[in-house]
Amino acid sequence: MIISLIAALSENKVIGKKNDLPWSLPDDMKYFMQTTRNHHVILGRKNYDSIPEKFKPLPNRTNIVVTRQKDFVAPNCILVKSIAEALKIADDANEKEVFVIGGSEIYKQTLAVASKLYLTEIKSIIGGDVFFPSFNKNEWLEISRVNHNQIDSRHAYAFDFVIYERITS
């Protein structure tokens, strides 16, 4: 099974601010929805809480929420206590590619086992309080880059959709 991380991040690796996205990039949201559709997605409780109610659980996906809270409720989601448990559920379901969708702690815990990164690289420094973990780009091969350079009324920042695969020795 391919373990993929998908995230939008600024040049300073910001992915969130006050439990929300610090930008509105509709084309990135569309890319996220299309890329993860019909797959298992793994997310942390804080990330789940940040999703607007009308989108919970994320439609057309098997939502697996990792939480240590014993009484946490997430209707129509699978609740687990660990990343290992989440990955096993996806693997047992014969998932070909599972997507880790955040937040920061979940990315940190899965980066070492990931084989693919789908990163929307926003071409700006943006303030925030949640960050994507640092990684060594020498361990990854860029296999795709699609520019989205038009700044318009819907997109305040230019960005690239970039896919990396881990280099195996």
pLDDT of residue 150: 83
Q: Which residue has the tokens 């990854």?
A: 140
DSSP 56-103: PSPTTSEEEEE---TT---TTSEEESSHHHHHHHHHHTT-SEEEEEE-
pLDDT tens digits for range 41-87: 999 999 999 999 999 999 999 999 999 999 999 999 999 999 999 99
- Tell me phi and psi for residue 63, to 5 degrees: -90, 120
d(CA 87, CA 156): 36
**Mean pLDDT over all residues of the chain?**
96
Position 130 confidence tier, pLDDT thresholds 50, 70, 90: very high
> Cis ω on the peptide bond leading into residue 16 (within 30° of 0)?
no
Q: Is the pLDDT of residue 169 over 90?
A: no
At 129, which amino acid appears?
D
Q: Is the pLDDT of residue 152 over 70?
A: yes
Q: How far is CA 93 from CA 33, 86, 115, in A?
A: 21, 11, 19
Residue with the larger pLDDT of the pair 168 and 162: 162
pLDDT of residue 149: 86
Given a contact cutoff of 8 angstroms between Cβ atoms, the answer to whether 42 and 90 are in contact is yes
pLDDT of residue 16: 96
Domains annotated on the chain, with CATH: 2-166 (3.40.430.10)
How much of the chain exceeds pLDDT 70, in percent?
A: 99
Q: Is the pLDDT of residue 114 over 90?
A: yes
Given a contact cutoff of 8 angstroms between Cβ atoms, the answer to whether 38 and 98 are in contact is no
pLDDT tens digits for range 83-100: 999 999 999 999 999 999
